[in-house]
Structure 1
Amino acid sequence: MNHSCRYDILGFTKDLGLNLEDVHNLYNELINEINFALAELKIFIAKNDITNISKIIHNVKGVTGNYRLIDIYEETTKINDALKSNNYNSLKSDLNNLINICYLAVKEIQNYFSQKSIDK
């Protein structure tokens, strides 16, 4: 793990065989994807659209697993499992928790690259 970030960005970088600047570009794309997904998720939560909520959760789960964002991956896995079993008891609070986790992750990733003097 990185000392200044709970996500294993350096390990991800080494595994891909890329330099940190290239990985920064990948994470910027990820951040854009997460932000777009969260905006859509909020709309579908308001509409109680379980089908589209499920699609977004599935997509976010996949991409965050690939990028080693373990906390988001674990939360989306929990939500995904609940949706598959039609267990909606804590869905809204779980989704709100996911949104908060995502915002914190985005901020932490941006801070990590900023500390490395790699900005947009």
Structure 2
Amino acid sequence: MTADDFKRIALSLPGAEAAQHMGSPDFRVGGRIFATLAHLNLGYGNLMLDPQHQQDFLAEAPDLFLPVKGAWGLKGATHIRLAAANEAVLTGALQAAWKLRLARNKGTPRPKPSSNHG
């Protein structure tokens, strides 16, 4: 799979939008990130999972998934090796990240910007 495949699948999910964070493409639902291409230079797409889902993906396909280094990885952020993935796996992984973000969005509404400008 390629970055274009990652983008196509991510944007096919209901309510998904493309944006950028720190100069890298990301994909959001409800204004919050569920996936990024921040490590595309290493051949990875990134999924914003939780630690349990991350462990499930790592156990099922350790040749495709690995934790993002550092604190983000400990919180569930997970790389997927794009060149090794197929359409079904990439779609399932992006759907999982999207569903988790939807569930988290319901529990933590995004704060509204302050209207006080002065």
TM-score, structure 2 length as denominator?
0.32
Choose between structure 1 and 2: higher helix proportion: 1
Choose between structure 1 and 2: higher strand proportion: 2
